[in-house]
């Protein structure tokens, strides 16, 4: 079989118990499957959650005592990260493998130089035969600028390393047609070619108290991967040979999300999925047509309404007169300046005001 580059993400609830303690047996099972892929000639990058959950019991805050304030959670992640990596190091060492910790933040994908540094480091680790173990840099992450869950991070990493496959491991068999706790006839959706609102509604809300994701975040991650030209599989972490079967394309392994034929750039992936929107700009039908069909920049003349208090460089959603969001981009003007300039032609703009509200290079059309 042709060698593949695989990104394997495992969630907090899959490697910890109900108290938040790391389950060495679960990590060992996961690492053993990574080792099997390595012995088959594949390159593997691990994205793992669990640092916060691992750190809580160390300071007596596990179980129902989980704090909610950002600073405490960041401090706990610093405590738990080393404990989590110690388990991974020991498990991989048992298979003759070396692991290397890499902590990433959203700006590593937004800034070209940072992106190249991150890609170079991961490529070199893989060339050296090391298994990179990635987590978000929770300990110093700005709460306004963060991934929020490692599902999203793993999809961006898949693009970063040019992966062939992203495997999102969870507690469920994949995306189901209904909640099995309510509907006993719920069945596995084995393949997704295109996303629609009905499919995304099936994903539901957040996951367990110990984790931050849930099926909704995995569907978002799979969509990111699809836009990156990467095949994605959502499958149960507890399933035997789950990583090997995902690589081999075994039927019924989980929910397989097929890649789109066109590959989006890393910068536009970051704009679309890694940065939160700070506001919304409503445009007229003419501007919507020009943006979606001609690929032009958004000018103030096409703006009919401005919502939110965004600054220059913030991400904003673009909506048509019907209120449907069709694009997202980085604003080149503030909300207050745009409110004053909305509907004006370029020749009528105040001196010094940028002519583009969102430049086409910073614009992503969202299906």
Q: Integer distance in angstroms from the first to the last C-alpha of the chain?
A: 35
Same domain? 105 vs 148:
yes
**At which of 215, 231, 264 does a domain end?**
264
Structural domain of residue 338, as residue ranges? 276-365
- Total of domains in the chain: 2
Environment class of 359 (CB within 10 Å of its CB; exposed 0-12, middle 13-18, buried 19+)? middle
Are 10 and 48 in the same domain?
A: yes
233 plus 287 within the same structural domain: no
Q: Which pLDDT value is given to residue 328? A: 96
Residues 237 and 294 in one domain: no
Contact 5, 161 (CB under 8 A): yes
User: Which CATH number covers residue 53?
Assistant: 3.40.1160.10
Q: Which residues of 186-223 are buried (b: 16+ CB within 10 A; e: fewer)?
A: eebbeebeeeeeeeeebbeeebbebbbbbbbbbbbbbb
Q: Are residues 358 and 289 in the same domain?
A: yes
Question: Is 271 inside any structural domain?
Answer: no
User: Is residue 269 included in any domain, yes or no?
Assistant: no
Please report whether residue 286 resides in a domain. yes
Q: What is the C-alpha separation between 130 and 271, in angstroms, rounded?
A: 30
Are 176 and 283 members of one domain? Answer: no
Same domain flag for 196 and 302:
no
- Give residue for tokens 């703006």: 303
Distance CA(367)–CA(291), nearest Å, equals 13
Q: 258 and 280 share a domain?
A: no
Indicate if 68 and 34 belong to the same structural domain: yes
Same domain, 123 and 152: yes
Phi-psi group of 214: left, alpha or beta (phi > 0 → left; psi -120 to 50 → alpha; rest → beta): left
Distance CA 60, CA 66 (A): 9
pLDDT in the model for residue 62: 66
Q: pLDDT tens track of the chain, all 367 residues?
A: 689 999 999 988 899 887 778 899 999 999 999 999 999 999 999 999 888 888 888 888 766 667 778 788 888 889 989 999 999 999 999 999 999 999 998 778 777 788 889 999 999 999 999 999 999 887 776 554 455 578 888 998 999 999 999 999 998 888 887 777 777 777 888 888 877 777 767 766 444 444 444 678 888 888 889 988 999 999 999 999 999 999 999 999 999 999 988 778 877 877 887 777 899 999 999 999 999 999 999 999 999 999 999 999 999 999 999 999 999 999 999 999 999 999 889 888 888 888 999 999 999 998 6
Q: Is residue 182 part of a domain?
A: yes
Chosen domain end from 264, 295, 330: 264
Q: In this structure, what CATH number is given to the domain that contains residue 326? A: 2.30.130.10
The domain boundary, picked from 264, 291, 318, lies at 264
Q: Contact at 8 Å (CB) between 66 and 29?
A: no
User: Which burial class, exposed, middle or buried, applies to 77 when counting CB atoms under 10 A from its CB (0-12, 13-18, 19+)?
Assistant: buried
Q: Are residues 83 and 159 in the same domain?
A: yes
- Same domain assignment for residues 21 and 168: yes
């Amino acid at each position: 079989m042709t060698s593949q580059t695989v990104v394997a993400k495992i969630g907090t609830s899959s490697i910890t118990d109900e108290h938040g303690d790391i389950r060495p047996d679960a990590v060992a099972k996961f690492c053993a499957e990574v080792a099997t892929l390595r012995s088959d000639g594949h390159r593997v990058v691990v994205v793992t959650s669990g640092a916060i959950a691992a750190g809580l019991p160390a300071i007596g805050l596990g179980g129902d005592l989980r704090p909610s304030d950002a600073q405490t959670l960041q401090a706990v992640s610093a405590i738990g990260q080393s404990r989590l990596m110690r388990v991974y190091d020991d498990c991989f060492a048992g298979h003759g493998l070396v692991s290397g910790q890499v902590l990433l933040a959203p700006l590593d994908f937004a800034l070209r130089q940072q992106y190249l540094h991150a890609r170079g480091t991961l490529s070199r680790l893989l060339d050296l035969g090391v298994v990179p173990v990635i987590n978000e840099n929770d300990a110093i992450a700005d709460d306004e600028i963060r991934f929020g869950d490692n599902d999203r991070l793993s999809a961006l990493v898949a693009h970063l390393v040019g992966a062939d496959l992203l495997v999102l491991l969870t507690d469920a068999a994949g995306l189901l047609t209904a909640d099995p706790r309510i509907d006993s006839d719920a069945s596995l959706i084995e393949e997704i070619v295109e996303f629609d609102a009905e499919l995304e509604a099936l994903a539901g809300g957040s996951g367990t108290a110990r984790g931050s994701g849930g099926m909704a975040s995995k569907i978002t991650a799979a969509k990111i991967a699809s836009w990156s030209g990467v095949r994605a599989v959502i499958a149960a972490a507890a399933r035997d040979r789950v990583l090997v079967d995902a690589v081999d394309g075994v039927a019924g392994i989980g929910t397989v999300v097929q890649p789109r034929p066109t590959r989006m750039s890393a910068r536009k992936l970051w704009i679309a999925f890694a940065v939160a929107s700070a506001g919304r700009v409503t445009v007229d039908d003419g501007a919507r047509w020009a943006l979606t069909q001609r690929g032009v920049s958004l000018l103030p003349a096409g703006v009919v309404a401005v919502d939110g208090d965004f600054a220059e460089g913030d991400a904003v959603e673009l909506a048509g007169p019907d209120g449907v969001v069709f694009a997202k981009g980085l604003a080149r003007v503030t909300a207050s300046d745009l409110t004053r300039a909305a509907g004006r032609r370029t020749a009528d703009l105040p001196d010094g005001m940028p002519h583009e509200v969102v430049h086409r290079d910073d614009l992503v059309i969202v299906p």
